Structure 1
Amino acid sequence: MKNFSTLDVVIIAAYLVAMVLTGLFFSRKNKNVSQFTKASGSIPGWAIGLSIYATFLSSNTFLGVPGKAFGTNWNAFVFSISMPFAAWVAAKYFVPFYRKTGEVSAYSHLEHRFGPWARTYAVVCFLLTQLARIGSIFFGIALTLQAITGYSMFSIMLVTGICIILYTVFGGMEAVIWTEVVQGIIKTIGAFLILYLIIKDIPGGIPQIIDIGMQDDKFSLGSFAPDLTASTFWVVLLYGFFINLNNFGMDQNYVQRYHTATSAEAASKSIWVCVWLYLPASLLFFVIGTCLYAYAHVHPEILSGVRLQVAAEQFPGASAAKLNEVAANLAPNAYGDKVMPHFMANKIPSGLLGLIVSAILSAAMSTISSGMNASATVFSLDIVKRYFKPNMTDKQMLWLLLSTTAIVGVLGMGTGIAMIGVKSLLDIWWELSGIFAGAMLGLFLLGIISRKAGNAEAVTATIIGVLVIIWMSVPSMIPDHLQYLRSPFHKSMVIVIGTLAIFLIGVLLTRFRKTPAKVHA
């Protein structure tokens, strides 16, 4: 590509090698399961908070958020606005609960409340969520590096995937947390560098960007109308609250970190460190997207290559005339994810480009590594040890964790490869996470809040809730002549309505029960 040089390759390679060496450094400590899964409870709260922040600030944020802001407006920023509300609930109620149980798995208590099926059900939903998340992040980083380097997306996923697998398997949770602390700092600096490089080439600077943004309504947070059928302010706020409640309250990625803290207070503090870092950081990426839009407004030539690339993907083998026709009619939201990689490849100087690519790599690696560790933990504890080998020694369990971590990494790469060709990185992740998270958050809340709910109510509510989620997620199941039976709600409402369906139906059935239920805890 235009500005990609040997120096950039050296910088990126050095970064990847440094991450692998970090894993090797911490490998000398990984002699038991407690160290691998929760760093023996020795991590300070501020470091855990930075680690959670780095997990939130994934390549989906680096690419998806500017792409969304470029193609539409700041409606998706409402997701970030919802975070403090979910964080308050998690810090006040969920963290003390998990610290009191002392169990590494976020889902073992569901078995105590409703039986083995509930635990397994939640674990399966979590693993599917993680595969979707890891895959979307692999896809995002490959999309960026392909635009910059010209290498195939498959090759990029393979190389980065091997490095991530190595340092995660070797280093365990302690390596994951401390590398994420560094990665969180690197990716934030990288974002400010990108913003500076965009603004300095816009005649008129920030006032010009504001004028263009105001003219085309790029700063809008969405409609405030009470409408649940479109992506209004309220729909995104509700979606964000429930997703973040799921993240902070029952996602193994975060729950496992609470156990690495030196105390319950430090664990609660980590949530707020993450929130107060992520709010301005996410705003920064929306600003980047709007600045890119303004840049393209005054430098329209930058979009010609992007539009042709998207047109060629939509119509492979088409004539040049056909591609030019399609490219000319593309809406901004059809190519938003590709604008920033294209800008980087053509406008950022050599050397500096390698540093910024390393920042984006760090965004991907932090989220993937934590997802791998968490997925391996729940699969090993909640599936293998629970059902197949309950009497494993600590050494056997450690080997199982190591091998499962590597397998999750490979499966995540495969999911990323399968996502090649999606139109919006942020949209595909939001849709998949809403489906899977909605299927388990309702059951979790039923078990925590309703102390009288029993197994029968939980099973019935979960079945009905899953049917509601399927109804909302797969409208094509209903034939066209019955389209009036399709869900009228926006797809972001899946987690909201799915969660409330399971919880409220469970509570309602408990009220109508005539005989006391057997409740385990």
Structure 2
Amino acid sequence: MSNLRVLDLVIIALYLAAMIAVGAWFARKNDSAEQYSSASGLIPGWAIGMSIYATFLSSNTFLGVPGKAFGTNWNAFVFSISMPLAAWVATRYFVPFYRSTGEISAYTHLEHRFGSWARTYAVVCFLLTQLARIGSIFFGIALTLQALTGFSMEWIMLITGSCIIVYTVLGGIEAVIWTEVVQGVVKTFGALLILYLIVTNMPGGVSNIVAIGQAQHKFSLGGFAPDFTTSTFWVVLLYGFFINLNNFGVDQNYVQRYHTATSAKQAAKSIWLCVLMYVPASLLFFVIGSALFAYYQVHPELIEAVKLKVAAEKLPLTATASQLAQAAAQLQPADYGDKVMPHFMVTKIPPGFVGLIVSAILSAAMSTISSGMNASATVFTVDIYQRYFRPGLNVKQTMRSLHVGTVLVGLLGMGVGIAMIGVKSVLDVWWELSGIFAAGMLGLFLLGIISRQTRNAEALTATIIGVLVIVWLTLSPNLPESLAAFRNPLHKSMVIVVGTLTIFLLGLLLTRLRQRRTAPLVPEEVLTQSVH
């Protein structure tokens, strides 16, 4: 704990204790599955909006976005620009649909439309997405706390994960939402504090940050050419629209919150409040990344410690000092962007403030992980355990299943986070995994809601072909040179776009072909009469 002062430790400990206390407080009210999973539909819209905002503002945003801006530019901000359009679609079509069904699981209606296979497929995709999200967030928080405490990343994930599991199991969705309201405020304040400390430590202040950023093209949103093989403006815009549509319209994390609102109107308002808060907040984190880049450009000697640490992680323990220096010299900003903000916190933030910022990072992780665990436990109980193993559970058995599911997802998420140790960019990993798992799920949902004439066989055929396309898009870039002609030429962010459209459009095509094939033939005498 040599890098943390006593005051910082006290602040962090008080924050963790407060979160567990909140869970214990709300545990008194959790006497039914409805209360545990939907808070009996009594949460105001503004609180739900703050909760969704806090879920979006995860440690992937808190650490990954500044790291991305430091290593490249503002191209990833286009993801946030796409949010209003996805929010409009969700509030117009998805929210009224879910509120009308009254089903707590987002995936139950897929069985009504296409059969049990569709529900199971969507549940598997959702759970894999949640494990990827939770794992990447655990990894992000461990990356920061390792620099501050000196503890191994594995132990950090186990300790923080245990605290999150305890308050999520105790409190249910109501505790998750109200703690996220607080966490949203803490995160935003922490980000503003970091930016203030960077600017005050920067020679020349804001004007110098802007000058360096412009000279190094750090504010670019990406190329505007119609090129889908690189991360252009259009690639990120399409990715952002589809992944945000998946979040607002399909993801159980968000659908479950719609049921906690007092009305459909309040649920829709919560989405727009999230958008109005998240877009400027995400811009704030890109500004932090660019400001950090400018700061270390002015103080290049300070970045050497970061580069040496990253190089040491890539080399064997027997590497010599000259080999380490040579490897560090070859690193590019994108290789160590995620490490920069933790280094700045360790070296430049005064006592007490570090504790506040670490609490903000913890809150960023806790909000998303806790909501993910609660939603996954609900899906596990409703769509797997009750559906296939124990139908007709009583209240006590249902609550036990929700608790066990929460713990299980938390432990598996920690395992995924530990497996991610050593990746270059936590934001890149999360974007890639979420695009793969969400693509098929979103395509099937759109097909089920928009095309009421599509039947089980057409949906199943389209999904099978869509999954094969997603597998090819994902794995083909790793093909050997002898099979280079069969590689996917598109950027990896296009997986969710192509995968979703393949299932949706192919399902429509198969439906149209079946309708033409089964359409009644017009008798010849009717045709003759119509001619005369």
TM range (shorter): over 0.9
How many residues are matched?
Answer: 516
> For 1:30-69, what aligned pairs fall within 5 Å after superposition?
30-69=30-69
> For 1:255-274, what aligned pairs fall within 5 Å after superposition?
255-274=255-274
Secondary structure of 2:201's aligned partner:
coil
Which position in structure 1 is the counterpart of 2:400?
Answer: 399
TM-score, with length taken from structure 2? 0.96
> For 1:305-316, what aligned pairs fall within 5 Å after superposition?
305-316=305-316
1:292 pairs with 2:292: yes
Q: 1:515 aligns with which of 513, 518, 523?
A: 518
Unpaired segments ≥5 residues, structure 1: 517-521
* Cα distance in 1 between the residues matched to 2:7 and 2:488: 53
Partner amino acid, structure 2, of 1:420: I
1:80 pairs with 2:80: yes
* Cα distance in 2 between the residues matched to 1:409 and 1:508: 41
* Cα distance in 2 between the residues matched to 1:402 and 1:409: 11
* Cα distance in 1 between the residues matched to 2:66 and 2:452: 44
Q: Residue by residue, what CA displacement relative to the aligned partner does 1:271-302 show, whole Å, maximum 9, x if unpaired?
A: 00000000000000000000000000111122
TM-score, with length taken from structure 1? 0.98
* Cα distance in 2 between the residues matched to 1:453 and 1:170: 42
Which position in structure 1 is the counterpart of 2:488?
Answer: 487
* Cα distance in 2 between the residues matched to 1:484 and 1:231: 21
User: How far off its partner does 1:3 sit?
Assistant: 4.8
1:225 pairs with 2:225: yes
* Cα distance in 2 between the residues matched to 1:272 and 1:14: 33
Which position in structure 1 is the counterpart of 2:27?
Answer: 27
Partner amino acid, structure 2, of 1:459: L
* Cα distance in 2 between the residues matched to 1:364 and 1:42: 26
* Cα distance in 2 between the residues matched to 1:479 and 1:354: 49
Larger Rg: 2
Partner amino acid, structure 2, of 1:324: A
1:183 pairs with 2:194: no
Secondary structure of 1:312's aligned partner:
helix
> For 1:240-259, what aligned pairs fall within 5 Å after superposition?
240-259=240-259
User: How far off its partner does 1:479 sit?
Assistant: 3.6
User: How far off its partner does 1:478 sit?
Assistant: 3.6
* Cα distance in 1 between the residues matched to 2:105 and 2:409: 17
User: How far off its partner does 1:4 sit?
Assistant: 1.6
Q: Residue by residue, what CA displacement relative to the aligned partner does 1:398-424 show, whole Å, maximum 9, x if unpaired?
A: 111011101111111111001000000
User: How far off its partner does 1:475 sit?
Assistant: 1.6
Q: Residue by residue, what CA displacement relative to the aligned partner does 1:231-284 show, whole Å, maximum 9, x if unpaired?
A: 000000000000000000010000000000000000000000000000000000
* Cα distance in 1 between the residues matched to 2:13 and 2:476: 45
Moved more, 238-247 or 316-325: 316-325
Whether the aligned pair in 1 keeps the contact of 2:2 and 2:150 (CA below 8 Å) is no
Whether the aligned pair in 2 keeps the contact of 1:3 and 1:349 (CA below 8 Å) is no
* Cα distance in 2 between the residues matched to 1:506 and 1:455: 10
Secondary structure of 2:300's aligned partner:
coil
Q: Residue by residue, what CA displacement relative to the aligned partner does 1:54-102 show, whole Å, maximum 9, x if unpaired?
A: 0000000000000000000000000000000000000011000000000
Unpaired segments ≥5 residues, structure 2: 520-532
* Cα distance in 2 between the residues matched to 1:508 and 1:91: 27
Which position in structure 1 is the counterpart of 2:121?
Answer: 121
Partner amino acid, structure 2, of 1:309: K
* Cα distance in 2 between the residues matched to 1:478 and 1:63: 32
Whether the aligned pair in 2 keeps the contact of 1:3 and 1:348 (CA below 8 Å) is no
Moved more, 47-56 or 476-485: 476-485
Secondary structure of 1:335's aligned partner:
helix
Q: Residue by residue, what CA displacement relative to the aligned partner does 1:483-514 show, whole Å, maximum 9, x if unpaired?
A: 11111000000000000000000000011012
Partner amino acid, structure 1, of 2:107: Y
* Cα distance in 1 between the residues matched to 2:429 and 2:500: 20
Whether the aligned pair in 2 keeps the contact of 1:2 and 1:345 (CA below 8 Å) is no
* Cα distance in 1 between the residues matched to 2:83 and 2:187: 20
* Cα distance in 1 between the residues matched to 2:489 and 2:267: 40
User: How far off its partner does 1:216 sit?
Assistant: 0.3
* Cα distance in 2 between the residues matched to 1:159 and 1:353: 19
* Cα distance in 2 between the residues matched to 1:509 and 1:37: 38
Which position in structure 2 is the counterpart of 1:105?
Answer: 105
Q: Residue by residue, what CA displacement relative to the aligned partner does 1:25-51 show, whole Å, maximum 9, x if unpaired?
A: 000000000000000000000000000
User: How far off its partner does 1:482 sit?
Assistant: 1.7
Which position in structure 2 is the counterpart of 1:462?
Answer: 463
User: How far off its partner does 1:388 sit?
Assistant: 0.9
* Cα distance in 1 between the residues matched to 2:134 and 2:206: 36
Which position in structure 2 is the counterpart of 1:281?
Answer: 281
User: How far off its partner does 1:476 sit?
Assistant: 5.1
* Cα distance in 2 between the residues matched to 1:402 and 1:316: 42
Which position in structure 2 is the counterpart of 1:519?
Answer: none
Partner amino acid, structure 1, of 2:460: V
User: How far off its partner does 1:452 sit?
Assistant: 0.6
Task: Give RMSD over aligned pairs.
Answer: 0.9
Which position in structure 2 is the counterpart of 1:505?
Answer: 506
Secondary structure of 1:474's aligned partner:
helix
Partner amino acid, structure 2, of 1:205: G
* Cα distance in 2 between the residues matched to 1:316 and 1:428: 24
User: How far off its partner does 1:515 sit?
Assistant: 3.4
Secondary structure of 1:105's aligned partner:
coil
* Cα distance in 1 between the residues matched to 2:316 and 2:272: 48
Partner amino acid, structure 1, of 2:29: K
Secondary structure of 2:220's aligned partner:
coil
Which position in structure 1 is the counterpart of 2:424?
Answer: 423
